[in-house]
Every structure is written in C-alpha cells, then in structure tokens.
Chain A
Amino acid sequence: MTVRRAPQRIARAAAAVFLVSFFCLSVHAQTVATPAWLKWLGNGTSNFSCTSGTCALGEELWFANFTVAAGATVSNVSGNGPIIIRAKGTCSINGTVSNSPNEGNYGISGRGDFGGGGGGGGGGTAAGTIGGTTSVITGIPLVNGGRAGATGGGNGGTGRSTTVNEYQQFISGGSDWPGGGAPGGAGGSGGGAGANGGGPVIIICNTINFTGTIDVSGGTGSNAPANNTGAGGGGGGGYVLLAAVTYTATTGTINTNGGAGGSCNGNSGCGTGGNGGNGWSTLVTIR
C-alpha cells in the first residue's frame, strides 16, 4: 500500500508546488518592489575615478563604475542642477561629493523642488525678502520659505524643512530635473544676500560603497553690511538619494542641513537672516 500511495502523494505535492509558484508569480507581476526610475542604471561603459583634488561633474552621467577616492571631491560647479550618477557596476564614495554652495559650488538660485525652504531675509529700514518657496509647478508652493524680517530690524523666519510625505512623492515618481533647496531671502535695505540652496545628489548603482561624505547643505546667508540693513537668509538644504542592489558600506556622512542665516555683525537697526529649512536623505535597496 505504501508503494501504491506514493504516486498520489507526489501528484498532490506537485499540484501544491504549482499553485504556490503561480501565486507567487502573480503577486510579483502586479506590483513593483522599487520605483522603476531607480532601477535604471544607465548604459555607461567607461569608468570614472576622481583620485585627488576636485573633479567637476554636473547633471546626469552614466558610467560603468564610479569612484571618489578618500581626500578627493566631486563638485557641481555649474549650479542650478543636480549631480546624478548611474552606474552598472560599483560606486565607491570614499571622498566627498558636494552640491553645496558652502564648498564653492553655485548651488540652487531658482526655486528648488523637494529641498528645504529658504530662510527669510532680515529687516533693515525696509523689510527683508521672504525666503524662497520650492515648487514643481508654477504657482503651486511645495516647501515654504521663511517669513521676511519686518521693517525696523525684524529677524527673518526659518524656512520649513521638507516632510516625509512631501519627498516620498519624489522618491516614487522621480523628476527629469531635480531641483534641491530654495534660496534664502535678501536682507532689507540693501542688506546681506540670501544664500543659494543646496542641490540634489542622486547615486544609483548596482553596488554602493559609501564611507565618505555627501554635502548638500544650504548656503550661509550673508551678514548685514551696515546699520539699518538686514542679513541674508540661509539657503534650503538639498537632498541625497542612494539606490543600489547591494551596499558594501553605508557608514558615510550626509549633510542636508539648511544654511545658517546671516548675522547683523554688530550693526544696529538690523534683523538677522532666517535659517534655511533642512533637506533630507534616503537609501533605497533595489529589489
């Protein structure tokens, strides 16, 4: 009897295996485990390696492998754009990748999109300028800038930081021109300049080894130049998005802080600049 029942058991087991396999298959077929735009690694065939000093890169580049050695810095000097790296192989970031105006980069002088709002400019004799509000569509505010300092030396307000609900829209849908943080407002009465926002850094590779630094902090507002002028607001922080199938290290440092507002520098009749709002960072495992 044992021998005769064995085929039945096999058949039942086979039926169960098929049911499970088709169930699993249908589940996989209907949804996506990772936003599709983060699964595309580009079609680059050349390697990039910044081994020392500063290497200028901007916008979107496709490589086979991407390396920033310890002590080296990759910067976006042209401004108003992101640094986007896609690589089919390994991205090793042991040095610094910077899209922050605090490190000699131009940063974001436009509205930005999913970064922090700009800090408000301090008031002088006249009111300061409101900090930049980020937006994707003209006329629809996203992350608000800080209020302007009132006439007579009012301090500028701090820009708002991006919330998770806001930036998850970006993670899901991506953008064909990621914008970063908004600039700060200028101080009143010819006061200090508002600083530019930090730009985005997006790195999408098969493997990421991150032990270095990524800096997308907003710029620091300029100090008031004289009595009865306001200080400039800080720029909003940019954002950092890492996506990889495998991470061999994620011990690096990410700076998405909003820029500090400018000070009055001892001048009277002056309002300080507001700080920029913070940006954000996230790490996605491609599945």
Chain B
Amino acid sequence: MEAMDGARWLPSGKPCGIRSNALPRVPALIGAGVANEIAAATDLDARVYMMLASLFVVFKRHCLCLSVQSLVLRKSIGGVMKIASCKRVCSTMIGIVLVLCYFRPAAHAQTLLTPPWLTWLGNGTHNQSCLSGDCVINDEVWFASYTLASGATLFNTAGNGSIIIRATGTCTIAGTINTSPNVPGQTGITGDGDFGGGGGGGGGGTHAGNAGNNTQVIPNIPIVNGGAGGKAGGGNGQAGKSTTTVQYQMFLSNGSDWPGGGAIGGRGASSGGAAGQGGAPVIIVCNTINFTGTINVSGGNGGNAPASNTGAGGGGGGGYVVLAAKTYTADTGTIITNGGAGGSCNGYANCGTGGSGGNGWSAAITIQ
C-alpha cells in the first residue's frame, strides 16, 4: 500500500512502469504481497475491499498519468506510442473492476457460514488481564485482548448473569473461569435459566418436595424440564433433564440478549435442604483463542436434609460454554458443564434425596 503515496502517480519519474509486452494480470498490477493478502482474507467483503483499493492504486498510477501524459505529449505522435502500455494496463484494470462490480450482488446474496452474533468481536475498548489471584467480570465486556494467566481465576460475583468476553485480538485462557455456584460466596442462576440443564427435584419429607425449575425463554413455555419433586413420605426427587443438541442449536443460531444458564433445583420438602442454583453461561468470542485452562459452569449442589421428615435439595442445572474464534492456537482446556448433585438425607429418617441437575453443554465455533 506504499503506492498510495500521491507522488507515485505523477508523470515524472516512472509514470508507466508496467512492461508493454504482456497483458498484466492482477498480481502483476497490485504486487505479489498484496495479492497474497487478498488471497488470505477469509472475509468476502474484506477481500473485495482490498482488491478494489489495490486497483485504485493502479488506477492512480496508470490511468491518471495516462490523462496527464496525453496532455503533455499531445503534439507528439511518438507520445501516443509511449502511452500504449499505460492504455493497456488501464483497460485491463477497468475490466477487472467491472467484473468485480458485476459479481458484487452475487457475493452479497451468499449466506452466512457463522451465526452473525458470533462474528462480532466488540470494539476493543478495554485492556485488561488477570495475571494472578481472583478477578471479576460481570456480564459482557469488550477487550482488545484478554489474558487469564495460569493460576488466576475469573468469577462472576453479581450472579444471575453470564461472563461474556469479546475481543478483537487474542483471548488467552490459561487459568480458570468459574461461574459455578459451588464456589463459596458466588451466586449462580436463581431463576429459570434458558438453555442450560433443568433443575433437580427436591426430595420429599413429610410433604412432597418441590419440582426443579424448567428453563424457559418465553414465559410459561418450558425448554429443558426440571425434575419432579419427591413424593410426600420421603420420596426421592427426580433428576432434571439435560439440554439436547436440537434445543441449544436455537441459541447458537440466534444468541440471546441475556443468556440465562441452568435452572435452579427444587428445595427439599418441609423446610428441607436448599436448592442448588444453576450454572451461569460463559461465552468467549475473540479473533484468536488460546484455551489451555479450565471453564467450570457446573450447577450448584443441593443442600442436605437438615432433620428427619425433611427432604434434601435438588441440584442446579449446568450452564453452558460457547467459544468462537477465527483461529484457535490451542483448544485443549477443560470444560465442566455438569448438573449439580442432589443433596443427601444425611442419615435422617423419612427423607427423600434431591435429584441431580441436568447437564449443560459446550460448543466451539470457528468463525468463517
């Protein structure tokens, strides 16, 4: 792109540097380096832009100089001959532009290879790294690049929300991202969640246990079912359902303006064990991802029964993890999306155990 320098297209020096004995092809016109960049561009729009920008440089170098030359050399028959090569270059270039413009509508008609919400990398506003100890990201943050070093841990302390990282550069996850409510002091999902696992049912005591929550996006339309509560008289709570592929593909296609994670479990009957909370989502969308650490979005464990004639709590549904990047320099990390374990009766009589939460899921997308 150094040829964008305006002096290069003035008729002084070498205004028409292309050999006249060969009809120049695109690489010859724009230079091999630029041609390679265009070929390497994965995005169609970027490729077309680069091509046209490069051709514009050639246009300035040859067509404008052609015009000036024709003025300077207008009284010379030999001048017409000298500008013949420029004319050839210019004509070729015009042809290429016309072809590009002709195919431009066809390019736009092409469909997408990646769900659009996963191609947005943010605007690179923040620069932040977590190199040691505990760090916090609540909800969504846009970075130029982000590094979570080995030994460091990233939490969401606000609860009922996700960790979403978008970066125009590289995201290095060598440490641990943990949105599981099993971490002391961390709140997971206390509501219904959306595409995570269903909550486990609470165990029965004297009375019946509470059902685990269903996940949902629209009010009263369940997506992933929670487990039934244990029956009165000490029935065990049932396990929540795990998210299926056909369910979470709807999320992958469309995204969400507030990803919800797994559902909360049901509480044990008769003032029994507490319900485990759902695991919160983790979504990382970066130009490059280097993932060698751990991401834990598991559901919370249900509380144990506190006394006889009470039930244990159901486990929370597991959350989910989505990684999306143009390039993965490593994808060898560990992802934990398990539902939380149901609580136990702890030796108490007339007690039902809590059902386990359903499992969440994870997906790694290559942005195309």
Q: Interface of A with B (CB < 8 Å)?
A: 3-8, 10-15, 17-18, 20-22, 24-25, 28-29, 33, 36-37, 39-43, 58-62, 80-82, 84, 86, 88, 108-113, 135-138, 174-177, 179, 206, 245, 286-287
Contacts and interface: CB of A to CB of B under 8 A. Distances in A.
16 contacts: A3-B80, A7-B66, A7-B80, A24-B101, A37-B254, A42-B249, A59-B247, A60-B249, A82-B250, A84-B253, A137-B219, A138-B219, A175-B254, A177-B218, A177-B250, A179-B221
A7 B87 contact: yes
A110 B253 contact: no
A42 B248 CA distance: 13
B139 interface: no
A110 B80 contact: no
A22 B253 contact: no
A36 B222 CA distance: 26
A221 to B, nearest CB: 19
A194 to B, nearest CB: 13
B63 A40 contact: no
The DSSP consensus for interface residues of chain B is helix
B111 A11 contact: no
B104 A24 contact: yes
Contact of B218 (A12, A37, A41, A113): A113
A110 to B, nearest CB: 3
Given A39-B111, A110-B219, A22 B52 contact: yes
B34 to A, nearest CB: 17
Q: Using C-beta atoms within 8 Å of the partner chain, give the interface range for chain B.
A: 35 or more
A38 to B, nearest CB: 9
B246 A33 contact: no
Given A11-B66, A287-B109, A176 B255 contact: yes
A111 B219 CA distance: 6
Nearest to A243: B111
A17 B97 contact: yes
Given A14-B90, A245-B111, A8 B217 contact: no
A108 B221 CA distance: 8
Nearest to B86: A7
Interface in B119-164: none
Contacts of A12: 67
B253 A86 contact: yes
User: Which of B49, B113, B219 counts the most chain A CB atoms within 10 A?
Assistant: B219
A58 B223 CA distance: 12
Contacts of A5: 70
Contacts of B247: 59-60, 81
B327 interface: no
Nearest to A41: B111
A13 B74 contact: no
B24 interface: no
Contacts of B48: 25
Residue among A4, A29, A37 having the largest count of chain B Cβ atoms under 10 Å: A4
A25 B52 contact: yes
B101 A29 contact: no
B10 to A, nearest CB: 14
Contacts of A29: 45
B93 interface: yes
A80 B247 CA distance: 12
